[in-house]
Structure 1
Amino acid sequence: MASLAEIEGFIAPEAFFELDLGDEDFRQNAVDRYASLWATRQPFYARRLGIPAVVCSRARDVREVMLNPSRFVMKAPKLPGYESFDIFGGLESVLQMDGDRHGRVRRLMNPAFSPASLPAIRPAVERIVKERLDAIEATGPHFDAMQDLCDHLIVRSLLDATFQLNPTQQAAFERVHRAIFAMNFRPGQARPQEYTEAIEGARAVIADLIEDRRHNPRDDFISKLISARDEGSKLDDAELYGQINTICGAALGSTATSLAAALYLLGRNPDQFDMLKQDHSLIDDALEECLRMHCPGFFFFPRFAACDTEIGGTPVLENMLILASPQAANFDPEEYEQPGKLDIRRKPKPLTFGAGSHHCIGVLLAKMTMRIGMRAILERFPGIRLADPAFRPTYGGNVGTLTIASLPMWLS
């Protein structure tokens, strides 16, 4: 089993990409510069906050990582220096499970995210969208599509409509979300105090939620998780804690960024935006194309080599960090003609939500929420546009995420 020091010694210093992937320069230029540059590049070595990693950015290499869970695992090795990969503070998430256990927990979670579960949620999401657009119209015509619309819309659609949490409970998970996405510490550094306090606060809220739903079950996600069975097996309390924290806390940012990114890309391509405004039947295809062009994260959740192996001709040591990039893979010219061009009639099949057994479990809910939001925006404000036609986002979040900080727009 290779140690971090052995992994360091395995790679010649000159073989590393020149920037640390945690550097601000990389974050701010990841979409516009590195996605297309790396889309045809053989897997290569880089550092993520000082930790050596193999970066996979061609579509075929990303799929190889996604579709070979026996070679590339989600659970981080217990190595000195890898502590930062426990982003949930000891609460084990389905995102960090492998093999039979992952399959069992995933099967127990599936009913809560199935197509059959969406019609019950849809009216509440539509109500929340209308309320947000009412508020924006009342203070318009200038607004921030990320801060005034997408952030609020997704938080309320998930935490209120889907999970039926009260405002105090919602605030606790919003705090977890902010703390997780501010985690950018290197090996040897202590966890931020805000992160520790946020996780402890979430634990207390989750305990209350489980107790309440066991005695007063509802037709909601948490009640379904508690009652779900797989061949007689149920989620134990530790598993419930981990999955509730993952879905209610960690998952908030991706859908918000995806809807904001769609508005941004369409605003930067007014011919495509005009086409969509004139034909709302293109909404699904347009959103899919925007998800291809701008992922919520430049990298997927980290994986680790389970053995000495290779990817695309690049040697990999056991325990090495593997970073697969859907953002770059979606620009691979072997997959798409003119990959840098937004074409809402393209009908792409992007890797944005992953592939294989760890394909995003909430993808149907996310796409439904985006679809409802986009349709309502276009019907209500057909003249919507970017405040600055040449606007370029500033990105925040933890390493590898592409959280849009602000998106100034005009209603007409």
Structure 2
Amino acid sequence: MLEANLLNIDPPDHTRVRRLVARAFTPRRIDNLRDKIQAETDHLLSRIADQEQVDLVAEFTVPLPLTVIGDLLGIPSEDRLRFRGWTNDLLAPDPAQPQQAKHAVINMERFMVELVAAKRAAPTDDFLSDLIAVRDGGDQLAEDELVSLAFLIFWAGYESTVSFIGNAVLALLDHPQQLAALRATAEPSDVALDELLRYAHPNQFSIRRFATEDITIGDVHIPAGDMVLLGRASANRDPLRFPNPDTLDLTRADNPHLAFGLGIHFCLGAPLARLEARIAIGSLLRRFSRIELAIPRDQIRWRSSFRERGLNALPVILGD
């Protein structure tokens, strides 16, 4: 039930479903969220302003996207961190608990089915209620498409943004000259944001695909039926496409990165993710003139996930 989403379907079903959900992510609707995102950002930064040391992941990069997409969909606030816990179990399960990922999927599916039922019984002013009205009124969404779509929008609407903001801040701390240059601007420009997306985006692979027939790419033979994972991170560091690909250069103008994919499956939430990252990073740099790691760089720990490169924590010392 969680698999029948935009990532895994093709036209004509993909065209039909994407057209329905695209109304939530129009440029105008996303821009209308700017004030709300800024207010939530200011609230979170004010809350950590007096702390001598803070974990930016726990106190900033997680709650901001989680609040924004949770409010957009109408997810009860008390359920959001619970869902985040299941996400962690799925992306980075404990090797000592081999059933952890399976249980996470079961819990997420049950949660989404129950949430859709609750919204259907008592609609509220949110996008999930709008999707249910479309499904029940015109029968343009099958029930599994509806549940799977709600799951995708919620998960994708915060998970990658959480990790990207943390990765981007760490990348800037690793490159003091680039950080200083960015501080001189009001907020990250499109050029600077694209370079951070290329350099520090958390998604290491595209969504899995399967060979429908035997195929040979270069010297590699792929039998029909084999699963294929495309190395998005490798593409974004391709030396044949990007000069000095391992260098963070916030002035890099020619930057066709694949952080949000390409073609018909280009990330529908890209404008929202860009807006959240722009406001979060810009506001953080404006609010604190001093941001430095609170622990040695080699003690920074990453989540143990092959799919997503995100930080477990980002302990920093902040100062005005």
What TM-score, normalized by structure 1, do the two folds share?
Answer: 0.69
Is the CA contact (8 Å cut-off) linking 1:146 and 1:404 kept in structure 2?
A: yes
Please tell me whether residue 261 in structure 1 is matched to residue 148 in structure 2.
no
- 1:125 — aligned with what? 37
Q: How does 1:253-292 map to 2 (within 5 A)?
A: 253-292=159-198
Paired letter, 2:259: T
In structure 2, C-alpha distance between the alignment counterparts of 1:381 and 1:128, rounded to whole Å: 17
Structure 1 unaligned spans of 5+: 1-88
In structure 2, C-alpha distance between the alignment counterparts of 1:184 and 1:323, rounded to whole Å: 23
- 2:80 — aligned with what? 170
- 2:208 — aligned with what? 302
Please tell me whether residue 144 in structure 1 is matched to residue 52 in structure 2.
no
- 1:411 — aligned with what? 318
Paired letter, 1:408: P
- 2:281 — aligned with what? 374
Q: Displacement, 1:287? A: 2.2
In structure 2, C-alpha distance between the alignment counterparts of 1:324 and 1:204, rounded to whole Å: 30
In structure 2, C-alpha distance between the alignment counterparts of 1:120 and 1:266, rounded to whole Å: 29
Please tell me whether residue 322 in structure 1 is matched to residue 228 in structure 2.
yes
Q: How does 1:102-121 map to 2 (within 5 A)?
A: 102-121=14-33
In structure 2, C-alpha distance between the alignment counterparts of 1:118 and 1:237, rounded to whole Å: 27
Compared with structure 1, are the counterparts of its residues 214 and 136 closer, same or farther at alpha carbon in structure 2 (3 Å cutoff)?
A: same
Give CA deviations for 1:192-223 in whole Å, capped at 9, x if unaligned. Answer: 1x444444443443344334444554442212
Q: How does 1:131-210 map to 2 (within 5 A)?
A: 131-140=43-52, 142-159=53-70, 161-183=71-93, 192=99, 194-210=100-116
Paired letter, 2:267: C
- 2:303 — aligned with what? 396
Is the CA contact (8 Å cut-off) linking 2:166 and 2:310 kept in structure 1?
A: no
Paired letter, 1:350: H
In structure 2, C-alpha distance between the alignment counterparts of 1:199 and 1:333, rounded to whole Å: 38
Give CA deviations for 1:290-326 in whole Å, capped at 9, x if unaligned. Answer: 1111221221121111111222453221111211112
> Matched residues, percent identical?
27
In structure 2, C-alpha distance between the alignment counterparts of 1:279 and 1:392, rounded to whole Å: 31
Paired letter, 1:182: A
Compared with structure 1, are the counterparts of its residues 381 and 90 closer, same or farther at alpha carbon in structure 2 (3 Å cutoff)?
A: closer
Compared with structure 1, are the counterparts of its residues 238 and 124 closer, same or farther at alpha carbon in structure 2 (3 Å cutoff)?
A: same
Larger Rg: 1
Number of aligned pairs? 316
In structure 1, C-alpha distance between the alignment counterparts of 2:64 and 2:178, rounded to whole Å: 24
In structure 1, C-alpha distance between the alignment counterparts of 2:260 and 2:286, rounded to whole Å: 28
SS in 1 for 2:49: helix
- 2:291 — aligned with what? 384
In structure 1, C-alpha distance between the alignment counterparts of 2:299 and 2:264, rounded to whole Å: 35
Structure 2 unaligned spans of 5+: none
Compared with structure 1, are the counterparts of its residues 179 and 249 closer, same or farther at alpha carbon in structure 2 (3 Å cutoff)?
A: farther
Give CA deviations for 1:98-133 in whole Å, capped at 9, x if unaligned. Answer: 332222222222111221221333332222211211
Is the CA contact (8 Å cut-off) linking 1:214 and 1:226 kept in structure 2?
A: yes
Paired letter, 1:346: R
Please tell me whether residue 97 in structure 1 is matched to residue 9 in structure 2.
yes
Compared with structure 1, are the counterparts of its residues 286 and 385 closer, same or farther at alpha carbon in structure 2 (3 Å cutoff)?
A: farther
Greater CA drift, 168-177 or 101-110: 168-177
